[in-house]
Amino acid sequence: MPKGYWVSVYPTIEDPDRLDDYNKLAGRAVAAMGGRVLASIGGRVEAHEAGKPERVVLIEFDSFERAVAARASASYQEALAELPEGFERDFRVVEGLG
């Protein structure tokens, strides 16, 4: 069964310290659903072509369905409510290959 991934790119974060509450709650929600952080904020990024060296978070789940369910979970919805103003991200749930 293919794994599922959360891929988040953060083009705009006016005040990174204001993400602390979100990060704490999101971390608990991800762990509760069996998610594993493979790359995170603070990691190095080398951008090519149209890419930009923005913050990237990559989280792996045992299946695509599990990744979708984690995004819809009540605990992750609570975390989303803590995202501050002046914040932008590109978030996707992606199915892995076989």
* The domain over range 4-95 is classified in CATH as 3.30.70.260: no
Q: What is the pLDDT of residues 46-70, one digit of tens each?
A: 889 988 888 889 999 999 999 999 9
Q: Over the stretch 70-96, which tens digit does the pLDDT of each residue have?
A: 999 999 999 999 988 878 889 999 999
Q: Which pLDDT score is estimated for 87? A: 80
CA dist list (Å): 6 to 10, 14, 15, 49, 64: 13, 22, 23, 22, 9
Segment 14-57, tens digit of pLDDT: 777 888 899 999 999 999 999 999 998 777 888 899 888 888 89
Residue 48 sits at φ, ψ, to 5 deg, of -135, 165
Residue with token string 């891929």: 7
What's the confidence (pLDDT) of residue 2?
Answer: 95
Question: Encoding tokens for residue 60?
Answer: 């792996």
2 vs 17 pLDDT, higher one: 2
Q: What's the pLDDT at 15?
A: 79
Taking the C-alpha atoms of residue 41 and residue 58, their distance in angstroms, rounded to an integer, is 9
Q: Which pair of structure tokens corresponds to residue 12?
A: 């705009």
pTM as predicted: 0.89
CA angle centred on 6, ends 95 and 54, rounded to 5°:
125
Distance (Å, whole) CA 31 – CA 13: 24
